[in-house]
Amino acid sequence: MRVLGIDCGSERTGYGVIETDGKTHELLAAGVIRTSAKEAPEKRLLRIAMGLREVMEKFSPQAAAVEEVFHGVNAKAALKLAQVRGVALLTAAEAGVPVGEYSPLEIKTSVVGYGRAEKRQVQLMLQSLLRLDRRLDSKDASDAVAVAVCHATRAVALLQTGFSGRGVGA
């Protein structure tokens, strides 16, 4: 199964594409779609949508996954994040790709085994899981790959138990 993980951000939206059987994962691509804070919000969202469409066209994922909105103290940042998530969900829906949504706790637990893991721990575990020579440089791309790995492992576990749920895009 080919999975696209998306780490939503208004200035840097990370993406990661893996090929997986649910237990072993191969990294196909990881990167960041960048926008400028000087651009109008609608232009930034358009740039993100175009970038995600390009990734989807190039890699033809069978599933996508995004992180749920983190409820922080900054309402303005949460609103911007929600707008980018909306773009990611719409772009996936346009491509006919089912989407799973996961909390930061679920993602870290799935990748590291500990829900309060730090970003560096996630990067090091991804390096090991994906058999990479070095860790991913970009934290945004690394987070996106972690989302993809989380979806892959959760989807296979749910299929093996015969349950379906919101996390597998069912």
Q: In the block, which residue shows the tokens 């069978």?
A: 62
Residue 21's H or E segment, with its range, is: none
3-state secondary structure of 138: coil
What is d(CA 65, CA 155) in angstroms, rounded to the nearest whole number? 11
List 123's β-bridge partners, or say none. none
Residues 2 and 60 sit within 8 Å (Cβ to Cβ): yes
* DSSP-based three-state secondary structure for 16: strand
Task: Note if 7 is an active site residue.
Answer: yes
> For residue 63, what are the CA distances in angstroms to 44, 124, 137?
24, 24, 24
Active site residue 140: yes
Task: Determine contact, residues 1/152, Cβ cutoff 8 Å.
Answer: yes
CA 61/CA 63 separation, integer angstroms: 5
Q: Is 67 known to be catalytic?
A: yes
Give catalytic residue positions.
Answer: 7, 67, 140
